Each structure stands twice: as C-alpha cells, then as structure tokens.
C-alpha cells in the first residue's frame, strides 16, 4: 500500500523551504538595502556640506580677486598721476616700487584665480557625485520593494501551506495508526 504520509512530508519540506526563503528575502530587503541607503545618504550629506564650504570659499576668493583688481586700478592711476615736477630719478623709483607692488598683486590674483577655478571644478564634481548618490539611493529603494513584497507573500503562503500540509499529514498518520 502507498504510504501517503511520506508523500506529504516531502511536500511539507517544500513549504518549509518556501517559508524560510520568504523570511530570508524579507530580512534581506529590510537590512541590506537600507544599510547601503543609509551609507549613501551620509555620503551625500558630506558632499553637500563640502559643496557649501566650497561655494563659500569661492565667494571669498572672488571678493579677493575683485579687491586685487581694484588695487591694480589704483596703482595704474598712481602711475598716471606722477607729476612732471618730480625728477626723473624720483619718477623711476616710484615707478619701480609701483611696478613691484603691481607684479606682486598680479601674481596673487593669478594664484587666487587658479584656486578659484579648482574650487569650481570641485563644486561640479560634488554636484555630479550627489546626483549619482541620489540615483543609487532610489535604486536601493527598488531593491527593497523587489525583495520585501515577494518575501512577505512567499513567507505567508509557505506558512499557510506548511501548516495545512502538516495537519493533513497528521490526519493521515492518525488514520493509518487507527487502521492497524
């Protein structure tokens, strides 16, 4: 005679597997993507903070460059205002000193402009990085949904069918025992 309890115990293992795999999918959906999402949000926050700091530094450097340009204009006007009454030697000394000051200011301005352009590149890099991080965060949210709902359904169905098959198996075992 065919032992039906053995058939149902094999099916019982499938339902156990379905229940456990659903539980694992749900736990994975709740832990791994959310952990990665948290790391990405922290990194995004850090990039936004750096972006604000770089913008502030950029503003300060822009102000300094404008001041250097004003000082260059002042030196230019000073050169124009040299009086004709001054001796050639005095004019030459004044021109040399003003030229030295202008050269120093000009070199400072070039350095500041170079730093300013580097800051602009950093700002652009941070903006792109923030965009990438936002895309990654939304993709992890998709992973959560892809794992969470099938995991819940698999867990519930597996649990229901497992309980049902266990009851049927127990009834069959009881009938077989009663028949002996």
Higher-pLDDT residue of 85, 77: 77
**Which 3 state secondary structure label does DSSP give 81?**
coil
Higher-pLDDT residue of 1, 115: 115
Report the C-alpha gap between 71 and 102 in whole angstroms: 8
| Cβ proximity of 94 and 86 under 8 Å | yes
User: What is the residue whose two structure tokens read 């000082």?
Assistant: 71
> What's the mean pLDDT when you consider all of the chain?
78
Rounded to 5°, the CA angle 74-116-65 comes to 10
pTM, rounded to two decimals: 0.53
Report the C-alpha gap between 162 and 13 in whole angstroms: 8
What confidence tier does 1 reach under pLDDT thresholds 50, 70, 90? very low
**Which 3 state secondary structure label does DSSP give 2?**
coil
CB atoms within 10 A of CB 76: 12
**Which 3 state secondary structure label does DSSP give 117?**
helix
Report the C-alpha gap between 23 and 155 in whole angstroms: 6
Range of lowest pLDDT (11-20, 81-90, 93-102, 116-125): 81-90
Range of lowest pLDDT (9-13, 35-39, 148-152): 9-13
Note the pLDDT tens digit of each residue in 41-65.
888 888 788 778 877 877 887 787 7
Residue boundaries of the structural domains of the chain: 4-36+52-179
What confidence tier does 156 reach under pLDDT thresholds 50, 70, 90? very high
Helices (H) and strands (E) in the chain, counts: 2, 0
pLDDT at residue 153, rounded to an integer: 92
pLDDT at 80 exceeding the cut of 80: no
């Amino acid at each position: 005679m065919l032992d039906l309890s053995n058939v149902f115990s094999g099916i019982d293992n499938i339902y156990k597997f379905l229940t456990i795999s659903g539980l694992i999918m749900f736990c994975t959906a709740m832990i791994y993507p959310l952990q990665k999402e948290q790391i990405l949000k922290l990194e995004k926050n850090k990039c936004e903070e750096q972006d604000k700091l770089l913008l502030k530094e950029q503003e300060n450097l822009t102000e300094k460059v404008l001041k250097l340009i004003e000082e260059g204009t002042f030196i230019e006007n000073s050169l124009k205002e040299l009086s004709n009454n001054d001796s050639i030697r005095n004019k030459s000394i004044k021109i040399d000193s003003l030229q030295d000051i202008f050269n120093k200011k000009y070199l400072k301005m070039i350095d500041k402009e170079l730093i300013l352009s580097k800051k602009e590149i950093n700002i652009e890099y941070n903006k792109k990085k923030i965009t990438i991080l936002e895309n990654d965060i939304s993709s992890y949210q998709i992973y959560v949904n892809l794992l969470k709902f099938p995991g819940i359904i698999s867990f519930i169905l597996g649990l229901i069918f497992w309980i049902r098959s266990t009851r049927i198996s127990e009834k069959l075992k009881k009938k077989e025992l009663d028949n002996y």
